[in-house]
Amino acid sequence: MENFQKEKVTPAQKPGLFRRLAALAVAAALALGLAACDVSGVVPGGSADVIPNPAASASTADSVNAPFEMHFIDVGQALSVLIECDGQFMLYDGGNVDDGSLIVSYLQSQGVEQLEYVFCSHAHEDHVGGLAAALAYFPAYHVYSPVADASTKCFQDFVKYTQQQGLQVEVPAVGTMWPLGGATVTMLGPVAQYSDTNDTSIVLRIDYGSTSFLLTGDMEKTAETDLVNSGANLRADVLQVGHHGSSTSTSYLFLNAVLPEMGIISCGVNNKYGHPHEETLSILRDAGVDVYRTDLQGTITIGSDVWFGGNVVVGPGVTIGDDVVIGAGSVVVKDIPSHSVAVGNPCHVIRRITDADREYWEGKAAEYRAWKDSLKS
């Protein structure tokens, strides 16, 4: 791998790269970030490690109101997820080696200047490959992987650029919790030792307000079963579907433990593996999970406070701002600005959102969450 220098990593001039899909596509959709969590109240004592956030004390009034966003970057047959909360960023996987410049370009477009945490889910190239470029360009506070060393050149480059920052690749323990702005990141797995590299994937639960996300890397059914049997809290609203939608992941047992509203599949167009497999898509359909795919929608960004009525269609390449309500049956073919109510076919803005609207929808969000929790109990 060549030595990365800042001047060698140039932004990719691809308008489609920065596409955004407001993916909260259920009636009374997940109201993200109505109230950010108090991290001090959710970090328990005991054996679990708590990693301090060196930037936490630097929050300002503006950053407190910054949106929560999770970006499933379109890296083809690979995985890379950028999470932002209150102006702080973490990166989970970096796609293939050839995706390095794309990853750097995307992070630049989102205003990233530093990364609080960098996670390599496991040592396969389509997850670790682009992280060397990210670490060559952006300073990081902590870098994590399920292993500290591997024989592949792409992993060794990942270690090299970590060390060039004066850091070491850390192997975190299950139960470790990290603050990211007003969100909390918790390591749930792997809960055992595995010979299959896919099953060594770091599994993270991210909680923001009352909404939860589960990142699973390429975890397959053996590790899924062990994770369910561990008693970990796997309930999540948004699931990164394991192993690009392969039939070797996403068992009925695991999906029943997670009960997601939405599943995100990162895979390449017409990839040689046939991902996502029909078996996996069938299981997700049976569970009533709304599925979004990077091979169909491009980069998928889940923003905060986006509400969809039933049967909304969002076209590719459309950006929907934060704090937006889309009326039932709308067909969204052009960008919708933040703080708007929009309806129709084609969807168009009919008015701005007021404080009275926010109070009404916060009440509806509470009703929806109570109803959803009653189904899970």
Out of 246, 278, 304, pick the residue that ends a domain: 304
Answer whether residue 27 is part of any domain.
no
Same domain flag for 229 and 351: no
CA distance linking residue 195 with residue 317, whole number of Å: 40
Residue 149, CB-side half-sphere exposure with 13 Å CA sphere: 1
Helix, strand, or coil (residue 359)? helix
Answer whether residue 105 is part of any domain.
yes
Average pLDDT, whole number, for the chain? 82
Q: Strand 203-208 to strand 211-215: parallel, antiparallel, or no bridges (unpaired)? A: antiparallel
From residue 149, give the alpha-carbon distance in Å to each of 31, 95, 152, 153, 215.
40, 18, 9, 11, 22
275 is catalytic: yes
Q: What is the pLDDT of residue 304?
A: 65
Same domain flag for 233 and 322: no
- Segment 298-303 shows an average pLDDT of 85
CB 71 within 8 A of CB 319: no
Out of 304, 328, 359, pick the residue that ends a domain: 304
Same domain flag for 298 and 163: yes
Check whether 22 has a pLDDT greater than 80.
no
Answer whether residue 4 is part of any domain.
no
Out of 272, 304, 336, pick the residue that ends a domain: 304
Considering the candidates 71, 122, 127, 275, report the single residue annotated as catalytic: 275
pLDDT confidence band for 17 (50 / 70 / 90): very low
Mark out the alpha helices in 287-354 (DSSP H runs): 294-297
Minimum mean pLDDT range among 68-82, 181-195, 346-360: 346-360
Across 237-251, 303-317, 342-356, which has the greatest mean pLDDT?
A: 237-251
Tens-digit pLDDT profile for residues 104-138:
999 999 999 999 999 999 999 999 999 999 999 99
Domain count, the chain: 2
Q: What is the pLDDT of residue 323?
A: 79
* Residue 326, domain CATH: 2.160.10.10
Answer whether residue 217 is part of any domain.
yes
Give the residue among 24, 39, 70 at the shortest CA–CA distance from 324: 24
Residue 178 phi/psi, 5° resolution? -130, 135
In which domain, by residue range, is 127 found?
63-304
- Segment 184-204 shows an average pLDDT of 98
CA distance linking residue 276 with residue 353, whole number of Å: 38
CB 347 within 8 A of CB 330: yes
Q: Strand 81-85 to strand 115-119: parallel, antiparallel, or no bridges (unpaired)? A: unpaired
CB 245 within 8 A of CB 277: yes
CA distance linking residue 149 with residue 147, whole number of Å: 6
CB 146 within 8 A of CB 122: yes
Top-confidence residue, 66 or 19: 66
Q: What is the pLDDT of residue 209?
A: 82
pTM here is: 0.78
pLDDT confidence band for 309 (50 / 70 / 90): confident
